[in-house]
Structure 1
């Protein structure tokens, strides 16, 4: 039954797309996301850069969560219209309409993904695993089909990204996400740090700020409660604030008044961090761009590694403390034992910054270049 429903949906969208193609194609880039909340900052940066430097290009952002299936059905029709009448389509995670329409889409589809850097296996490399989708779902939804180009922060991960998206490696190009510019801008960093402190005045009392931002886990680890208790016991709250930045999909919460929870990116708790504790999250790259010491609290490493899998051995290749001992992490913070130079070299391998342009300008120029090419599909040329 599910297969029939999805086939009917794909056929219906194909008809709608053909009808929408009767309308004029505009010099427009449409950016589409299913992300909850505000539009992704990468999209707003693309829109703002084009408005300032390429005003002849209109940028439209379509941001709608799939939480309400009925309202999202009408959003899918809207997305189909904009895909049919725009010169380029940019997405930063799975887009149902793009997957269902696939090769029918005449405009180039550029997948810029939503994570700074790369770490965990995803997509087709985790099919039928506890942390991935089933092969049946991947096949039925045609997940990650229809891409003409895929952006990546470093070509060191081209083969892994190609495998994850199930695409030809030749369509992958190197361009870090636009928001990398914000992490590297000292003026923006200071403005955002003040914004966090204004929203949470306690953070301006002189104590150092430790931000804990773990990755999302589909299943709650058996030792999670114990691990959080150990972390709380290790922190000297007379010297440090502990700020919890939860993953958007996570249900983890601290029932402790000493912990300040700051969800989302407005304000973004990372900008207030003096130290970051994470685990297997690509937030370690964002912290690296901010120049903040990073420590990895891997209290469920064996189980998570078996369920998910990684593109490299983070337990040895990330140049920082990797441990299941919360007290050891706080001791390292107390001692200031973090090798900034080694971490900078690690960052350079994983996030390749443009020599001259900003990351936003580089991405926008790439997208416009795709849009200006022939509308005929050519998946083997970048």
Structure 2
């Protein structure tokens, strides 16, 4: 029954797409995202670069989370129009219209994904796991089909991406996400830090520890206990503890000292002096900011069974990996962190171009694909 409904939906999408193909194709790139209801930083940087380097082209950003299937259905129709009448399509997540119409879309489709670097198995390598999709779902939705190119932060991940997206490695292209440009821009970091501290002056009076846990589909049984242990271990006379959650996570720590209620547009990494994470690719972003990173693995025994990682965090990441919150705070207090080793780790996994910007590399790759099809 499900397969029949999906086939009907695909046929309706195809007919709608072919109708929109009767309209003139414009000098335009369309960006699709389900990560947020607002344009992401990566897409905004692409739009800004295009206005300078390719002013004869426009960029349309269609960002919307899938909350209400009916409303999202109307959004899909809008996506179809712009896919059919643009010169290229950029994605940062799985897009229903792209994968269900794989083989029918006759312009380049570039999957830039939304994570900088890689850690967790995803896509086809996570099928059947408790944190991944079902095999039947991936098959029905034609998951991750229809890509012309897939971007990657470093060729060190090429085999991981090829397996995760179930694609030929030849279409994987090394180009870190555009927001990398902001992370390595010292003046931008200073402006953002000053902006946040103007809004929240208390964050400028002490050193800031930013806790960035990864998103888990199911809340660990010991999450509340572990979060409380971390909060209790902090000396609030010296430090602020800031929680920076994944957009889909609702973690809240029952401690009045913890700074966790603030608008999502403030990226607290820019005020961080130390970062605590676990299995999140935020470890690469923090590394580009040259921040000490510590890994709080309170649920590793259970998580490693539910969601395998491409790397062994205990062996491959040169920092403290522990379930002991007190040990992490002690390491912070004693500045027990090897910056040189961590920077070498980040450089292996985020290949910043020697010339030009990351945004330029992404956009010009898209135009190379457009030129190749004309």
Question: Normalised by the shorter chain, which TM-score bucket?
Answer: over 0.9
Counterpart of 1:228 in structure 2 is 227
Q: Does 1:76 align with 2:80?
A: no
SS of residue in 1 equivalent to 2:101 = helix
Q: Does 1:210 align with 2:209?
A: yes
Provide, for residues 210-233 of structure 1, a one-character-per-residue CA deviation record: whole Å limited to 9, x for no partner. 000100111121221221121122
Provide, for residues 85-117 of structure 1, a one-character-per-residue CA deviation record: whole Å limited to 9, x for no partner. 111100000111111111100001000000011
Counterpart of 1:166 in structure 2 is 166
Counterpart of 1:41 in structure 2 is 41
Q: CA deviation at 1:335?
A: 0.5
Kindly tell me: are residues 47 and 190 of structure 1, through their superposed partners in 2, closer, same or farther at Cα, counting changes over 3 Å? same
Counterpart of 1:378 in structure 2 is none
Kindly tell me: are residues 223 and 307 of structure 1, through their superposed partners in 2, closer, same or farther at Cα, counting changes over 3 Å? same
1:1-382 pair list within 5 angstroms: 1-205=1-205, 207-261=206-260, 265-374=264-373
SS of residue in 1 equivalent to 2:178 = coil
Counterpart CA distance in 1 for 2:8 and 2:197 is: 51
Q: Which moved more, 1:259-268 or 1:278-287?
A: 259-268
Counterpart CA distance in 2 for 1:73 and 1:187 is: 42
Provide, for residues 336-361 of structure 1, a one-character-per-residue CA deviation record: whole Å limited to 9, x for no partner. 11111001100010000101111011
Counterpart CA distance in 2 for 1:373 and 1:77 is: 28
SS of residue in 1 equivalent to 2:103 = helix
Length-normalised TM-score, structure 1: 0.96
Q: CA deviation at 1:25?
A: 1.2
Length-normalised TM-score, structure 2: 0.98
Superposed CA RMSD in Å reads: 1.1
Q: CA deviation at 1:36?
A: 2.2
Counterpart CA distance in 2 for 1:229 and 1:353 is: 38
Please identify runs of 4+ aligned residues in structure 1 that moved more than 6 A.
none
Q: CA deviation at 1:272?
A: 0.6
Provide, for residues 295-349 of structure 1, a one-character-per-residue CA deviation record: whole Å limited to 9, x for no partner. 0000111111111001111111101100001101000001011111001100010
Counterpart CA distance in 2 for 1:32 and 1:350 is: 25
Counterpart CA distance in 2 for 1:138 and 1:263 is: 36
Q: CA deviation at 1:35?
A: 2.1
Q: CA deviation at 1:71?
A: 1.6
SS of residue in 2 equivalent to 1:110 = strand
CA contact (8 A) 2:228 2:255 kept: no
CA contact (8 A) 2:228 2:253 kept: no
Counterpart CA distance in 2 for 1:15 and 1:208 is: 57
Counterpart CA distance in 2 for 1:262 and 1:359 is: 32
Q: CA deviation at 1:37?
A: 3.2
